[in-house]
């Protein structure tokens, strides 16, 4: 296409509400415009990117054997009442009444609708497993829409739903979708991780999130450098540390620590590294008693893990000072495991500590040189209760964990029978018995992919699109196009040649200065740029600029098509 066809809507101003870089760049590059809070119009350039995301997702869903359908956005309340979500879903569900005063909502998700379709359409167990998907507009009345299309009120999702007779069949489709998602995100050209996730309120047991890695991501994820293990940091397991405990080197000693309460105080007082200080946290048990949680001084308690341990109250509740004094006869700052009269749960990493410091269960007193088995027994309860840190061993034993930030863009769930049971979506199985279908569901935030791609790939000058998502693969930038007839002819011919070769090319035929043109092309992030000038043509040369490199290359005009085709080969960004 030609820029003279009003294709570009680049602007200099950044609206005040655009606090993240992707939002700023999407406005500046003219991809979107705000209509109202959380509502955006996609302009031509942005829509081209959105359609590329859609096309890749559609191709891979089709390849995985999923059937595309299109369900209404407007959903009758009756179906949501069947699953109980009409009452449970909060104000994020946009509700309205039709002219006959009947209740409807605008679908934020389609479990009810697809389950209704499945219970009507699936007549025989022989049709199972079956996976339906759609690419469709969703509505979510966010309390605080923000970050542009990243968290908005109307957005495009790919949502897929599978139906099964058995858990094994669900697992098979789940694995297939996991693979399809991996292919999709790879084809996007984005750095990503599939992480083990909590399935949250949507229900079900097994779930993975697909995160696009970006420093600005809202989620922290732990991933291995030696395998494809990755998990939401809340969920990443810390395995039993390898190696053995160092031998005791010093004697047990009780020391007066009149005003040392925190780990930092104690560490400084004894001039001991924090990892040699034992942290003892006291929480409530589920029977009203207190429970002590032992952690290495530099580690952080993971409340989600702690809540899963038998005997610990849910939600996790710290004991008050008064409760601790009443049970343990000293203030929290001096609590320690030696002779402690409440239940003790030690984090796995604690078992490797030696010559450590801990409270003495007397106000203003700490022990130093404490050693397991010599000064006290290892606690009966050794559990994983801390949050992973950089360098932890990967739970699968392969490699070390690293922490990165990510943007959740995909999510796959094993739903089980949460929806099919309440909606009586059953089928007569091979044995002639009615059986509730088992479900999986699989989402990708289509609009969000666009924003996350920018969060991951940008610089001070603008967006740096991966070739597969770029609105155009190549830009032709002629210098002073309107001053040379030879240049006009050559640029036009180059444009037509590239089009004929199937390359998506943007021909910047505006009457603008070179600097203005380049900064527009960099802002909108076209991967490859051909600069063509009258002077260059004299020598039969054009200039090639890559969006990711400062170095320009001189290329003979006659070889430029082959040069670009090599650059655009799949797999080369």
Binding site residues, a copy of itself, CB under 8 A: 5-7, 9, 33, 35-36, 39-44, 47, 50, 65, 67-76, 91-92, 94-96, 98-99, 106, 113, 116-117, 120-121, 127, 130, 137, 139, 141, 143, 153-154
Task: Give the shortest CB-149-to-a copy of itself separation in angstroms.
Answer: 11
Q: Of 117 and 248, which CB lies nearer to a copy of itself in the complex structure?
A: 117
As measured in angstroms, the least distance from the Cβ of 94 to a copy of itself is 6
Would you say 7 or 25 has its CB closer to a copy of itself?
Answer: 7
CB-nearer residue toward a copy of itself: 54 or 543:
54
> Helix 485-500 vs helix 560-567: angle between axes, to the nearest 10 degrees?
40
* CB of residue 50 to a copy of itself, shortest distance in Å: 7
- For a copy of itself, which is the closer residue by CB, 103 or 307? 103
* Least distance in angstroms from the C-beta of 138 to a copy of itself: 11
Nearer to a copy of itself, 75 or 207 (CB): 75
- Whichever of 14 and 39 has its CB closer to a copy of itself, that residue is 39
Of 376, 145, 136, give the one whose Cα is nearest residue 252: 376
| Minimum separation from the CB atom of position 321 to a copy of itself (A) | 40
Distance in Å, CB of 466 to a copy of itself, minimum: 22
Neighbour-count burial of 70, counting CB atoms closer than 10 A to its CB (0-12 exposed, 13-18 middle, 19+ buried): exposed
**In the complex, least distance from residue 160 CB atom to a copy of itself, rounded to whole angstroms:** 13
Q: Say which residue the tokens 């036009």 belong to.
A: 492
Given a contact cutoff of 8 angstroms between Cβ atoms, the answer to whether 306 and 386 are in contact is: no
Q: Which is nearer to a copy of itself, 105 or 353 (CB)?
A: 105
Considering the complex, state which of residue 127 and residue 341 has its C-beta at the smaller distance from a copy of itself.
Answer: 127
- Comparison of 119 and 343: residue with beta carbon closer to a copy of itself: 119
The 3 state secondary structure assigned to 218-256 is CEEEEEECCCCCEEECCCCCCCCCCCCCCCCCCCCEEEE
DSSP symbol at 248:
P
CB of residue 256 to a copy of itself, shortest distance in Å: 58
Burial of 431 by CB count in 10 Å (0-12 exposed, 13-18 middle, 19+ buried)? exposed
Q: Cis bond leading into 375, ω under 30°?
A: no
Minimum separation from the CB atom of position 156 to a copy of itself (A): 9
- Nearest distance, CB of residue 214 and a copy of itself, angstroms: 24
8 Å CB contact between 391 and 299: no
Locus of tokens 């021909």: 507
Alpha-carbon gap, residue 384 to 302, rounded angstroms? 9
Q: Across the strands, what pairs with 164?
A: 438
| DSSP three-state, residue 180 | helix
Cα separation of 534 and 540, whole Å?
9
Residue 160, beta-bridge partner list: 133, 442
Q: Which helix (H) or strand (E) holds 197?
A: none
Task: Report the nearest approach of a copy of itself to the CB of residue 154 (Å).
Answer: 5
CA torsion, ordered 148, 150, 152, 154, to nearest 10 deg: 110
Q: Given the complex with a copy of itself, which of 77 and 202 has the nearer CB atom?
A: 77
Q: How far apart are CA 155 and CA 38, in angstroms?
A: 9
Beta carbon of residue 339, minimum distance to a copy of itself (angstroms, whole number): 55
DSSP-assigned states of every residue in 288-300: S-EEEEEEETT--
Q: Which helix (H) or strand (E) holds 365?
A: strand 365-370
Q: How far is the CB of 102 from a copy of itself (least distance, A)?
A: 8
Residue 3: alpha-carbon gap to chain centroid:
35
- Of how many residues is the chain composed? 573
Choice between 404 and 523, CB closer to a copy of itself: 523
Q: Convert 404-419 to b/e letters by CB count within 10 Å (16 or more is b).
A: bbbbbbbbbbbbbbbb
Kindly tell me which of 95 and 461 has the beta carbon lying closer to a copy of itself: 95
Instruction: Between 125 and 270, name the residue whose CB sits nearer to a copy of itself.
Output: 125
- CA 91, CA 93: separation in Å to the nearest integer? 5
**Tokens found for residue 502:** 């199937």
User: Is the Cα torsion angle 444, 446, 451, 456 positive or negative in sign?
Assistant: positive
Shortest distance in whole angstroms from residue 121 CB to a copy of itself: 6
> Which of 109, 82, 87, 106 lies closest to 96, judged by CA?
106
Identity of the residue, 135 or 542, whose beta carbon is nearer to a copy of itself in the bound complex: 135
Q: How far apart are CB 115 and a copy of itself at their closest, in Å?
A: 12
Per the structure block, which two tokens stand in for 467? Answer: 């070739």
CA 306 to CA 317: how far, in whole Å? 10
Looking at the Cβ atoms of 91 and 571, the one nearer to a copy of itself is: 91
Pairing of strands 154-164, 130-139: antiparallel
Across the beta sheet with 541-546, the strand order is: 505-507, 474-478, 528-532, 541-546, 552-556
Between CA 75 and CA 86, with CA 80 as vertex, the angle to 5 degrees is 110
């Amino acid at each position: 296409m030609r820029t003279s066809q009003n294709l570009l809507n680049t602007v200099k101003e950044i609206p005040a509400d655009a606090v993240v870089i992707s939002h700023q760049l999407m406005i500046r590059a003219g991809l979107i415009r705000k209509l109202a809070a959380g509502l955006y119009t996609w302009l031509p350039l942005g829509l081209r990117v959105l359609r590329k995301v859609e096309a890749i997702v559609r191709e891979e869903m089709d390849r995985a054997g999923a059937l595309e359908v299109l369900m209404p956005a407007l959903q009758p309340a009756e179906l949501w009442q069947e699953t109980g979500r009409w009452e449970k879903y909060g104000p994020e569900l946009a509700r309205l009444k039709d002219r006959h005063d009947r209740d409807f909502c605008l679908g934020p998700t389609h479990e009810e609708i697809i389950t209704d379709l499945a219970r009507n359409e699936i007549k025989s167990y022989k049709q199972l497993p079956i996976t339906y998907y759609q690419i469709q507009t969703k509505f979510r009345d966010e309390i605080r829409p923000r970050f542009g299309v990243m968290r908005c009120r109307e957005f495009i999702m790919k949502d897929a739903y599978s139906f099964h007779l058995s858990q094994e069949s669900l697992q098979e489709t789940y694995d297939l979708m996991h693979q399809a998602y991996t292919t999709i995100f790879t084809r996007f050209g984005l750095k990503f991780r599939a992480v083990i996730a909590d399935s949250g309120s949507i229900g079900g047991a097994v779930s993975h999130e697909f995160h696009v890695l970006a420093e600005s991501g809202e989620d922290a994820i732990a991933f291995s450098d030696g395998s494809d293990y990755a998990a939401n940091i809340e969920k990443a397991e810390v395995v039993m540390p390898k190696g053995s405990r160092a031998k005791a080197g010093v004697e047990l000693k009780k020391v007066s620590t009149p005003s040392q309460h925190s780990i930092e105080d104690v560490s400084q007082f004894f001039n001991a590294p924090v990892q040699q200080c034992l942290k003892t946290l006291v929480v409530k048990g589920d029977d009203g008693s207190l429970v002590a949680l032992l952690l290495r001084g530099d580690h952080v308690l993971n409340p989600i893990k702690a809540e899963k341990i038998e005997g610990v109250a849910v939600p996790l509740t710290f004991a008050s000072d008064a409760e601790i004094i009443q049970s343990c006869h000293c203030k929290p700052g001096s609590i320690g495991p030696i002779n402690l009269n409440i239940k003790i749960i030690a984090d796995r990493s604690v078992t490797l500590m030696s010559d450590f410091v801990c409270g003495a269960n007397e106000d203003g007193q700490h022990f130093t040189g404490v050693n397991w088995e010599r000064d006290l027994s290892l606690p009966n309860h050794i559990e994983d209760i801390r949050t992973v840190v950089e360098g932890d061993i990967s739970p699968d034993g392969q490699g070390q964990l690293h922490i990165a930030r990510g943007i959740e863009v995909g999510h796959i769930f094993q739903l089980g029978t949460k929806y099919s049971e309440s909606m009586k979506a059953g089928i007569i199985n091979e044995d002639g018995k009615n059986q509730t279908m088992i479900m999986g569901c699989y989402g990708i935030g289509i609009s969000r992919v666009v924003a996350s791609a920018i969060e991951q790939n940008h610089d001070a000058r603008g967006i740096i699109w991966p070739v597969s998502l770029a609105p155009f693969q190549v830009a032709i930038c002629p210098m002073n196009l309107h001053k040379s007839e030879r240049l006009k002819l050559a640029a036009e011919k180059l444009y037509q040649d590239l089009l004929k070769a199937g390359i998506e090319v943007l021909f910047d035929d505006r009457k603008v200065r070179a600097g203005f043109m380049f900064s527009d092309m960099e802002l909108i992030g076209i991967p490859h740029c051909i600069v063509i000038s009258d002077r260059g043509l004299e020598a039969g040369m054009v200039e090639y600029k890559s969006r990711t490199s400062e170095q320009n290359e001189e290329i003979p005009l006659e070889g430029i098509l082959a040069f670009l085709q090599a650059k655009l080969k799949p797999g080369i960004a």
